[in-house]
């Protein structure tokens, strides 16, 4: 006796089964899954950045996005309002994403790295109107202890400004490694809307930092 809810059943590579009068095409689920994984693969590839190892100083090598270039002195002065050049500062073609390395003025010893991390975290919160922490902690990078903080920062517009500007949000991954008596500060910054596109690359870059010897 035919089941009352099954109207038709035809056995074929694309078997059509009607349950409660709703058509289901056997075999199409596999096709949908294949299309899903193909789309996912394309999406992942679109967010994969081309990184190359670069000797950025005599002591430091790190992965740099292939389309990045060193910032000029004029660009640094214009964007960061300083004439003091960091140890390393790279940027993308339209100057919206920066990757830099600098050396702290304050002297630290390696055993105090977590104290330094708390001090730097306090500075970050004082620098912006709002900070949302994504991740933070300590880890070992090629034999050296590092502390890191990943966050979204917000700078609100000046209330007294005549310009009708919205808030500025940035994605930042910052990492500290004490070498000798100074902390090296590794910093990756992009607009927050590019976080999804660049977050994976930022992690790769920070996890592959290599330091030889002592920094003068």
Measured distance CA(86)–CA(103) in Å, rounded = 8
pLDDT digits (tens, 9 = 90+) for 156-184: 988 766 666 789 999 999 999 999 989 99
Number of folded domains that form the chain: 2
- Cα separation, 213 vs 195, in Å, equals 33
- Average pLDDT over the chain reads 83
Which of 81, 146, 86 lies closest to 117, judged by CA?
Answer: 146
Question: Same structural domain for residues 27 and 61?
Answer: no
Residue 161's pLDDT is what? 65
Specify the DSSP class assigned to residue 42. H
pLDDT of residue 34: 59
The confidence score (pLDDT) of residue 37 equals 52
Task: Examine the pLDDT at 106 and tell me if it is beyond 70.
Answer: yes
Contact 176, 204 (CB under 8 A): no
pLDDT-based confidence at 137, cuts 50/70/90? very high
Q: Say if residue 33 is in the same domain as residue 136.
A: no
Q: How confident is the model at residue 32 (pLDDT cuts 50, 70, 90)?
A: low
Which is higher by pLDDT, 164 or 142? 142
Same domain (yes/no): 68, 103: yes
Please state, for a pLDDT cut of 70, what percent of the chain lies above it. Answer: 75
Residue 216 lies in a domain: no
Does 39 lie in the same domain as 66? no
Tokens standing for residue 137: 């902690």
Whether residues 103 and 34 share a domain: the answer is no
What does the pLDDT average to over 184-210? 97
Band (35; pLDDT cuts 50, 70, 90): low
pLDDT bucket at 213, cuts 50 / 70 / 90: confident
**Domain of residue 17, residue span:** 6-46
Is 123 a member of any domain? yes
Residues 103 and 184: beta-carbon distance below 8 Å? yes
Q: Is residue 1 part of a domain?
A: no
CA-wise closest residue to 50 among 67, 34, 37, 35? 67
Residue pLDDT, tens place only, 93-102: 999 999 999 9
Taking the C-alpha atoms of residue 179 and residue 141, their distance in angstroms, rounded to an integer, is: 13
């Amino acid at each position: 006796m035919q089941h009352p809810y099954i109207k038709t059943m035809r056995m074929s590579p694309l078997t059509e089964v009607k349950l409660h009068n709703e058509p289901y095409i056997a075999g199409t689920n596999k096709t949908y899954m294949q299309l899903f994984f193909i789309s996912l693969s394309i999406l992942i590839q679109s967010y994969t950045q081309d990184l190359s190892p670069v000797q950025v100083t005599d002591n430091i090598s790190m992965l740099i996005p292939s389309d990045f270039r060193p910032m000029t002195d004029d660009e640094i002065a214009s964007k960061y309002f300083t004439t003091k050049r960091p140890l390393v500062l790279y940027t993308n073609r339209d100057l919206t994403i920066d990757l830099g390395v600098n050396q702290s003025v304050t002297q630290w010893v390696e055993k105090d790295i977590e104290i330094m991390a708390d001090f730097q975290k306090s500075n970050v919160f004082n620098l912006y109107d709002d900070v949302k922490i994504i991740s933070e902690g300590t880890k070992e990078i090629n034999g050296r202890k590092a502390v890191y903080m990943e966050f979204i920062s917000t700078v609100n517009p000046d209330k007294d400004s005549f310009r009708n500007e919205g808030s500025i949000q940035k994605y930042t991954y910052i990492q500290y490694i004490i070498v000798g008596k100074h902390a090296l500060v590794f910093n990756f910054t992009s607009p927050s809307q590019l976080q999804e596109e660049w977050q994976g690359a930022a992690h790769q870059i920070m996890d592959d930092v290599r330091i030889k010897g002592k920094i003068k």
